[in-house]
Amino acid sequence: MKQLTSEQLRTMYLDFFAKKGHAVISGASLIPENDPTVLFTTAGMHPLVPYLLGAKHPMGTRLTDVQKCVRTGDIDEVGDNSHCTFFEMLGNWSLGDYFKKEAIEWSWEFLTSPDYLGLDPEHLAVSVFAGDENAPRDTESFEHWRRMGLPEERIFFLPKENNWWGPAGITGPCGPDTEMFLITDKEPCGPDCSPACDCGRYLEIWNDVFMQYNKQADGSFVPLEQKNVDTGMGLDRTIAVLQGAPCVYESDVFAPIIASIERLSGHTYAEGGEVQRAIRIIADHIRCATFIMGDDKGMAPSNVDQGYVLRRLIRRAVRFGMQIQMPEHALEEVAKAVIEKYKDAYPELVRNQNFVLTELNKEEAKFAKTLKQGTKEFEKLVRQLDGKTQQIDGAQAFHLYDTFGFPIELTCEMAAEQGLTVDEKGFEQCFAEHKKKSQAGSTQRFKGGLADTTEASAQLHTATHLLLASLRKLLGDDIFQRGSNITAERLRFDFNFGRKVTREELDQIETMVNDAIRRDLEVQCEEMTVDEARDAGALGIFNDKYGDRVKVYTIGDVSKEICGGPHAHRTGELGRFKIKKEESSSSGVRRIKAVLIHE
C-alpha cells in the first residue's frame, strides 16, 4: 500500500484516467446550477445528469474530475468516526462509451497496481447486484471480477438496498452497481458476515454504477439507449485508509485544521471524549462553511435554503468552540487553515477569502447576541416553572433549540445549574418530528428534477440570461449571478447588489426583458474552450484549472453566457416576463422571483 498525501491522490487519480482517454474536467460549483432538487452538489455525478441522460458533453464521452460535495442530512451526527458534511469525490464517467468490463478492470488496476494505490488483492472484496423482479442478477460483473482473480467467496451478491443506484426522484436513470471494499483486521461478525453488515469488517472505498435503466412513473424499468458508467471514490475515506488512520479526522486532510483549533483552544485532540468530539465538529463545520462561502457562487448565512444550512454550521461551531474555551473570532483562524490546506486544489478559496472571513465574523457576532436572547428566554422559562416542577419538558427544550439555536447540551447544563432536569427523550421526539417534516418538505425539491428539460423550464432558463443582461445594463456591469433555481413554473435569480431594487427599476428591467422577447432573437449555442469564451466576452465563472470546452449561448446582441442548461430556440417563444417579487437573499445579495405568462 502506497503512503500518499491527499494532494498526491487527487493528481494520481486524474492522471490515471487521463491515460485511459478521459478528459479532465473542472469540478462544478457547490451551489447547483438552476437545479431545484437539492441545496448543494451532493455527488460527483450531480452536475453531469443532463449528459447521463443523453445531452452531448463538450469534452466527449469519457470524463474525470474531482468534485467538492456537501451533504447535510446528518449534521447532528458529525463528531463520530464517520460523518462529515463536506467531502471530495473522485469520479470518472463513460457517457455511452465503455461499460462494465473496462470500469471493473480499471478500478482493479488503480486499486492494486504498485504504480498506483498498491492495495493487497487478498484484502479486497466486492459486492454486485443480486437481482430482483425489476432487473436480473448482475452475473456480467460477477464474471468480470472472477477474471480479475477474485475468488467467489469474496464476491457478494447483495440486494437493491445495497447495490443499486437511483433514481434520486420518482423517475430517472438508474442501475446496478458494484462496490469495492477493504477487508479490515476485524473478525467476521458471524457466518453471514458481508459488506452489508455494519460490523466494520468491510470498508467501502469505490463504487461503479452502471446506469442501464430509466425508471418510469408507473414503477417499471426501461433499458436506456445510452448506457453510462458513473464511478465514485471518496477522497477523504480513501486517504484515511492509505495513511492507516482510524478515521478521516486523523488523516492529513484534517491535520492542519485540527492543529489550529488545538493552538487556539489550548486543548488537544488526544484528550478524547467531549473535547475530541468538539474539535471534530469545529473542524468539519468550518471546513464546510469555508467551502460554501468560498465558492465562486458563494452564499452568506441567512434564514433560507443554503444560507440557513450555512448559518447552522457556523453557529454550531461557535457553540462547540465556547465549550473548549476558544477565544472570540478564533474561527477566522480555523478558516484560514482550511484555505491554506486547499488553496492549490481550489484557488477560488483564495479569491474569495475576504468574503469568507468577513461573513464568518459577522455571523459569530450575531450568534453572540442570539445566545444572550436565548439565555433571557431560558431564565424566563425557569421563572414560569416556579417550583411547580423540577423538569423542563421536551417541547420547551426544543423551542429553545429551534428558535434560539440553543443546543440541548447547553439547556441541560444551564438546567443543572438551577437544580433542574430536562426531558431529553421528549426533546428527541420533538426533534424527530421536526426532522421528519423537514424531510417531507425537501422531497418536494425533486419535482422539477435535474432531468427537467421541459419546454417551460428551457424558456425560463433562457429568461434568466435576459434578466441578468438587463440587470447589468441598468444597475452596472459589476453585477453577476450568485445563484439560480428554476422549476417548470418560475425562476428565482440571485445577484450581488447592495440595496433594494426600486419598483421603478424593476419595471424598467421587465420592459428590457420583454423587449428582447418581442424581438424574437435567435438563441445560438457554440462549443469553445474557456479561453475562447473569455475572449468572446461571454459571462461565466472562468476556471482555468483545466482546458475545458464549454457551451456558450448567445441571444442576439443582448446576452452571451457560458451555460449548460436547456434553452429555447428563439426568445419569441417565452411569452411575457413578469417579476413577482424582489427581496434580500443574504448580505449583499438580492433575489428576484419571476414567471413567464403565455396569453
pLDDT (tens digit, 9 = 90+) per residue, 287-340? Answer: 999 999 999 888 888 877 788 889 889 988 998 898 899 998 899 999 999 999
| Residue 218 in this model has a pLDDT that exceeds 90 | no
Kindly report the pTM of this predicted structure.
0.74
3-state SS record for 341-402: HHCCCCCHHHHCHHHHHHHHHHHHHHHHHHHHHHHHHHHHHHHHHCCCCCEECHHHHHHHHH
Q: Which helix (H) or strand (E) holds 125?
A: strand 124-129
pLDDT digits (tens, 9 = 90+) for 122-143: 999 999 999 998 889 999 999 9
Phi, psi (degrees; rounded to nearest 5) at 486: -125, 130
Q: Picking from 92-96, 369-373, 466-470, which range would have the lowest pLDDT averaged per residue?
A: 369-373
Grid cell locating 521 = 432573437
Q: How far apart are the first and last CA of the chain?
A: 66
- Nearby residues of 65 by Cβ (< 8 Å), 6 or more positions away: 14, 24, 25, 26, 27, 44, 91
The cell 472570540 sits on which residue? 328
pLDDT digits (tens, 9 = 90+) for 41-93: 888 777 887 888 788 898 999 999 999 999 877 777 787 877 899 999 999 99
Rounded CA gap, 83 and 498, in Å?
Answer: 37
Confidence label for 541 from pLDDT (cuts 50, 70 and 90): low
Tell me whether strands 559-562 and 549-555 are parallel, antiparallel or unpaired. antiparallel
Helix (H, G, I), strand (E, B) or coil at 475: helix
Q: Residue 98 in contact with residue 229, Cβ under 8 Å?
A: yes
| Residue 548 in this model has a pLDDT that exceeds 80 | no
- Nearby residues of 535 by Cβ (< 8 Å), 6 or more positions away: none
Q: Would you tell me how many other CB atoms lie within 10 Å of the CB of residue 423?
A: 17
Q: Residue 386 in contact with residue 400, Cβ under 8 Å?
A: no
b/e map 13-24, b = 16+ CB within 10 Å: bbebbeeeebbb
Q: Residue 25 in contact with residue 59, Cβ under 8 Å?
A: yes
Burial of 540 (0-12, 13-18, 19+ CB in 10 A): middle
- Closest to 203 (Cα-Cα) out of 298, 125, 297, 277: 125
Confidence label for 202 from pLDDT (cuts 50, 70 and 90): very high
| Residue 405 in this model has a pLDDT that exceeds 80 | no
pLDDT digits (tens, 9 = 90+) for 175-198: 999 999 999 888 999 998 999 988
